[in-house]
Amino acid sequence: MKHLKIIGYMILILSLANFVFSGYMYNELNKKNVQVDIVLPENLRSLAEDSKRRESVIIQAIMVMHHTAGIHPPGQEPLCPFCQQNNLKTVRRDY
Ligand SMILES: [Zn+2]
């Protein structure tokens, strides 16, 4: 029974110390204007543009596959590079 009292007091003291330290850190962090300058590496700056370009290449490849498989009618898909060229016939397969 005596040990439980000691453990209870220790938990109470630790939680109070944690509370006081948290308040102190909150005040300290609010006082100072913390500013972090993150410098992006050179090869990461063009990441957004590179990913856009890669996605458009993937979409064009899928559209070319659709075009050759005859999934969309020729000349009617604006994203398809084959549809941009005139007189390009669709290879239609009969499954
Ligand atoms: Zn097409």
Ranges of each domain in the chain: 1-37, 40-95
Q: Classify 42 as helix, strand or coil.
A: helix
* Å from CA of 47 to ligand 1 middle: 29
pLDDT in tens, 19-77: 999 999 998 888 877 778 888 888 787 888 888 889 988 998 999 899 888 888 888 88
Q: Quick one: average pLDDT of 73-84?
A: 83
What residues flank ion ligand 1 with Cβ within 5 A? 67, 77, 80, 82-83
* Å from CA of 72 to ligand 1 middle: 6
For residue 76, give every residue at least 6 positions away whose Cβ sits within 8 Å of its Cβ, in sequence order, or none.
83
